[in-house]
Each structure stands twice: as C-alpha cells, then as structure tokens.
C-alpha cells in the first residue's frame, strides 16, 4: 500500500472512522514512527475502542513507535508485529504498560526479544489465549517456562523454527488444558516423553511435529490416545515412525482427522491413497513420500 501512513492519518480524522475496531497495516512499508507520533499530536481518540492492530512487517517501526501507537489503544486485545526485527524487550514493556487486555500476541520473527520480554508477558497477561513466538531465537527454557506456568489459558501456541528448547519445557505444555493449536516444527529436542505429556492436551485439533527427529511411534501413539479430536497432524520428516502409529491414529482419531502429512516418514509403508482412506475415512488432505 503506497503512502499508507498518510492515508491512515487522513482516514482517522474522518467522522465515519470514530469507532474503529480493526486496523490492518500489514506490509505497509512506508509506515514509521512519525505517523504514530502525528496521530498522538492530533489528540486522536478514534483508536480508543480499537481491538485489533496488525502492523506485520512494518520494518520502519521502532520500540518508540510501538510505545506511541499502543498508548492510543488502551482496549487493544490482539496485536501482531510479525517480522519487525528491530524491536526489543522495550517494545514488550510498552505493550504491557499501555494495553492491559491483550489476549492474542504475535511476535513471530522478532529476533531481539528475549526472556525478559517473555517474563513481562507472563506477569501481565495471565489470560493470554494466543501466542506466536516463531523464530524468536533469543528465547530459552526460562522465558518459555514462565509463560507456560502463568498463561494457563493458552489455546494457541506457535513455536515454529525454535530448536533450542529442552524436553522439560515441552513436558510443561501438557498443563495447557485449553490448547487447541500447537506448532512444534523443528523442535529437535522434543522426545516421546515430551509428547506423552503433551497428550494431556485433550482439546488439540492442530499439531505440527514436522522435523521433530527424536520422536518415534511411542510418542505418536500417546498423542493418538490422548488427543482424540485431532484434525491436522504433520509428521513430516520423522524417520522413527512406522505403520504402528498410523494404526493408533486410525483407532483413536479416525472420526476427526482430515489432514495428515507423513511425507519423508520412510518407516511408514501404508502410503497408498486407498490405504489411508481406509484408515481415515474423513481424510481430505494427505501427503506421503513417493
């Protein structure tokens, strides 16, 4: 979107936008701190009722810009700042100070956010429902454990492309009884023991275990037995699973599973379409190795 910042300022000054609920500026490359400062200088009150703000990939926005815009949105419930790589833990401090009602937070790609930022999230958003920390590579077990312990209402947790966490963290995920979405793609340290704990998340409908290379049939069988509402399961690239896990999934999840990816699972022999349809009659999307 060209001149998105100027267009935002012009639009917000119009009477018909006095009760905005949603602003989506995703990939608006020209948006920067100055536009948010200008809104504040205008005494903008149109954002008081804003509930969702998406500034994904607005790379010119800094910690200062986040401070300014969040100060105008006290009732914000969902904030997405995907891939604004210059943001730091100071951004998290501004968010928790200005927005007390956040339930959906997307920090994907914010590579400079550390455990200090996660501690702030944990301390201030116990009612958090959705958290995306994809590629937040500075996080350690300590930061994530704080969130898992205090944000027990989480329904969606995205840990895509984070390989440094230990299995003790994955075991704690099992305490999130409301969890429906879990992405562990690339979680190289999660083991069958970790999955056995995660199997207590009985509400899970989406589970991505792609490239979880230490997983075997034992862990997937535990998931099948505990998570009987699974609709999507990816086992992509896991060489330690066999037809044993398929039989368990068929026994316990055949009434719910619609998407299954076993591409690269060389131990699985039942790879023909007819085989899978027989095991999973509701299957609509499936990927298998050739």
Write the DSSP assignment of 116-173 as a string of letters: HHHHHHHHH-TT--EEE-TT-TT--HHHHHHHHHH-TT--EEE-TT-----HHHHHHG
Partners of residue 132 on adjacent β-strands: 106, 158
Kindly state the percentage of the chain with pLDDT values over 90: 88
Query: Mean pLDDT across the stretch 237-266?
Result: 95
What are the tokens at 249?
A: 């999934």
The pLDDT assigned to 139 comes to 98
pLDDT band at 288 (very low <50, low <70, confident <90, very high): low
Query: Mean pLDDT across the stretch 115-131?
Result: 98
The pLDDT assigned to 1 comes to 59
Tell me which long-range contacts 37-45 makes (C-beta under 8 A, separation of at least 24). Answer: 37/65, 37/68, 38/9, 39/8, 39/9, 39/12, 39/68, 39/69, 39/72, 40/68, 40/71, 40/72, 42/9, 42/12, 42/13, 44/12, 44/72, 45/18
**Burial class for 286, CB neighbours closer than 10 Å (0-12, 13-18, 19+):** middle
User: Residue 16 carries which DSSP code?
Assistant: G
Q: Under CATH, which number does the domain 4-288 receive?
A: 3.80.10.10
The pLDDT assigned to 287 comes to 72
The pLDDT assigned to 276 comes to 82
Query: Mean pLDDT across the stretch 79-108?
Result: 98
Domain ranges of the chain: 4-288
Query: Mean pLDDT across the stretch 79-102?
Result: 98
pLDDT band at 2 (very low <50, low <70, confident <90, very high): confident
Helix (H, G, I), strand (E, B) or coil at 104: strand
pLDDT tens, position by position, 146-190: 999 999 999 999 999 999 999 999 999 999 999 999 999 999 999
The pLDDT assigned to 15 comes to 86
Query: Mean pLDDT across the stretch 196-213?
Result: 98
Query: Mean pLDDT across the stretch 37-56?
Result: 95
What are the tokens at 257?
A: 């599973």
pLDDT band at 195 (very low <50, low <70, confident <90, very high): very high
Query: Mean pLDDT across the stretch 195-221?
Result: 98
Mean confidence (pLDDT) of the chain: 95
Cα distances from 135 to residues 16, 87, 128, 155, 221, in angstroms, run 39, 14, 20, 20, 28
Residues 129, 131: Cα–Cα separation, whole Å = 7
Residues 183, 141: Cα–Cα separation, whole Å = 17
Q: Is the confidence at residue 275, as pLDDT, over 60?
A: yes
Query: Mean pLDDT across the stretch 247-259?
Result: 96
More confidently predicted of 102 and 269: 102
Listed residue (132, 86, 91, 78) closest to 108, CA to CA: 132
Residues 251, 69: Cα–Cα separation, whole Å = 51
Query: Mean pLDDT across the stretch 38-65?
Result: 96
Listed residue (144, 111, 230, 146) closest to 182, CA to CA: 230
The pLDDT assigned to 290 comes to 46
Residues 200, 197: Cα–Cα separation, whole Å = 6
pTM over 0.85: yes
Whether 48 and 17 have beta carbons less than 8 Å apart is answered as no
Q: CB-based contacts of 278: which residues, under 8 Å, 6+ apart?
A: none
Q: Is the confidence at residue 289, as pLDDT, over 80?
A: no
């Amino acid at each position: 979107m060209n001149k998105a910042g100027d267009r935002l300022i012009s639009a917000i000054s119009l009477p018909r936008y006095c009760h905005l609920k949603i602003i989506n500026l995703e990939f608006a490359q020209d948006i920067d701190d100055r536009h948010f400062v200008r809104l504040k200088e205008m005494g903008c009150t149109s954002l008081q009722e804003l509930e969702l703000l998406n500034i994904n990939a607005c790379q010119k926005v800094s910690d200062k810009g986040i401070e300014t815009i969040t100060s105008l949105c006290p009732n914000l419930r969902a904030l997405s700042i995907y891939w604004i790589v210059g943001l730091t833990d100071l951004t998290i401090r501004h968010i928790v100070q200005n927005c007390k009602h956040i339930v959906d937070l997307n920090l994907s790609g914010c590579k400079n956010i550390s455990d200090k930022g996660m501690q702030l999230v944990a301390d201030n958003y116990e009612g958090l429902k959705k958290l995306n920390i994809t590629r937040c590579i500075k996080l350690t077990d300590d930061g994530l454990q704080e969130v898992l312990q205090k944000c027990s209402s989480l329904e969606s947790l995205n840990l895509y492309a984070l390989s440094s966490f230990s299995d003790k963290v994955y075991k704690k995920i099992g305490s999130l009884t409301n969890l429906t979405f879990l992405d562990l793609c690339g979680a190289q340290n999660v083991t069958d023991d970790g999955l056995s704990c995660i199997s207590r998340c009985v509400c899970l409908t989406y589970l991505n275990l792609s490239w979880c290379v230490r997983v075997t049939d034992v862990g997937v069988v535990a998931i099948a037995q505990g998570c009987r509402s699974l609709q999507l399961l990816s086992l992509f690239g896991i060489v330690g699973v066999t037809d044993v896990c398929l039989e368990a999934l068929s026994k316990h999840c055949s009434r719910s599973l619609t998407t299954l990816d076993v591409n690269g699972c060389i131990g699985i022999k039942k790879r023909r379409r007819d085989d899978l349809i027989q095991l999973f009659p509701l299957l609509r999307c499936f990927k298998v190795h050739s």
